[in-house]
Amino acid sequence: MADNVAIPEGREVTYLERIGAHSHIRGLGLDDSLEPRQASQGMVGQQQARRAAGVVLEMIKDGKIAGRAMLLAGQPGTGKTAIAMGMSRALGQDTPFTNMSATEIYSLEMSKTEALTQAIRKSIGVRIKEETEIIEGEVVEILVDNPTTGSGQKVGKLTLKTTEMETVYDLGQKMIDSIMREKIQSGDVITIDKATGKVSRLGRSFARARDYDATGAQTRFVQCPEGELQKRKEVVHTVTLHEIDVINSRTQGFLALFSGDTGEIKSEVRDQINSKVAEWREEGKAEIAPGVLFVDEAHMLDIECFSFLNRALEHEMSPVIIMATNRGITRIRGTNYKSPHGIPIDLLDRMIIIKTTPYDEKELKQILKIRSEEEDVDISEDALKVLTRIATETSLRYAIQLITTAGVIAKRRKSQEVSIEDVKKVYALFLDEHRSSQYLKEYQNEFMFNEIGQGDASTVRTTTETSAPAAAAMDVS
């Protein structure tokens, strides 16, 4: 007789929310007619670019567009990556979105084309439909009997009802743990998957809406289910082609997805999976959901990668590829030829190009205010004006970096609000790119491997003495 194994009770996991460069982005900030709001969902300005991205977004959502390429081109710090992040948030969890930097393909232990193939297949979803038996009803009562000895398995009873019937179910240890983990209580409308035993809360019953429960603003009220408790329901699972590739190509199967050690996948495996997915599509069991592959710093790809992408865009199993670059006319990596954005002309011809423009002073101020709130730093109006002037004279990225550092200085002097003095202090402590270059030129002779001649040094020194680009930012009076 097998011994009873005590199953530990599930405990809540606390997730750590970290603040990133684009963690304030919630979407593209468009209304129902795809018109951009001046400031919405963390996005500020760039109205023309956001409108264009919104049109592409609608085509992606319809699932009709694939094998298209788009280029976000503009100066550094004009919100190219922010627009891509906004598209990712607006698409939601159901549409695959792969975010990669072009330099990643050179650091992986696989060929460049294999790395790009995996990225492309991560961006193509397969919606697999299947029917499953579920139990759906409103919880009337939950009774759990704890063993008197303190050890052993718990047993319990769950009473569920619909508008037409009511049934009592016996609960085992696994189901009790699931119910406790989901914090199910009387009055909740739940579904139980019979195959897996997964318990999901749909919401609170309207019949309990008048109860004096401590319900928050996010509480969702639903009607009590009708008909029988047990019913068949069509469930849609979305997986990517890359996940199917990994599961079918490795001896350890799906464990390779967690270890990250996917390695190179044979083309024969991919061909078999493509034919199987095509078969499912014909039978109506599955449908393809083309996603988005976003490639940042696209000018870092070389001619071999561009040639591969040119061919990949023609394939029916291709996502929408969005690239971003801040380069002008520059050399195509791997060749001696120059072209706009460092991208070959034949690939540029396939792209729709969206330009981003520099922010004006009002927009810079709004972005800095949003970032201050995101980083939980209270900043005075005068200090915000100074930061805006610094962003105008230097760069937006530099000004954003000063927010947290100024917040630390303010806390050290026991203040809850960042003042002008705090901004002045961090501005003096941390150099921006322009002041750093001027300092380097001024003291070039003291550095190792000095390549500036004596004649050049005097010219540099004169320039240094007369130029002070961001000093005006300190003079707010």
Within a domain: residue 135? yes
Confidence at residue 142, expressed as pLDDT on a 0 to 100 scale: 85
- The tally of domains found in the chain comes to 3
**Residue 310 located in a structural domain:** yes
Global pTM reads: 0.68
Counts for the chain of helices (H) and strands (E), in that order: 15, 17
Which CATH number characterizes residue 298's domain? 3.40.50.300
Last residue of a domain, one of 254, 269, 287: 287
Q: Are residues 467 and 374 both part of a single domain? A: yes
Q: Flag residues of the chain having pLDDT under 50.
A: 1-16, 454-455, 457-473, 476-477
Do residues 107 and 211 both lie within one domain?
A: no
| Same structural domain, 337 and 302 | yes
Alpha helices in 124-261 (DSSP H): 173-181, 241-249, 255-259
d(CA 406, CA 224): 54
Does one domain contain both 146 and 221? yes
132, 114: one domain: no
Structure tokens at 426: 């961090």
In a shared domain, residues 395 and 462: yes
292-296 and 97-101 strand pairing: parallel
| CATH number of domain containing 216 | 2.40.50.360
Boundary (domain end) residue, out of 258, 287, 316: 287
CATH code, 434: 1.10.8.60
Contact in structure between 108 and 314 (CB atoms under 8 Å): no
116 and 131 assigned to the same domain: no
Q: Give the chain's end-to-end CA distance (angstroms, integer).
A: 86
Residues 276 and 301 in one domain: no
230 is a domain residue: yes
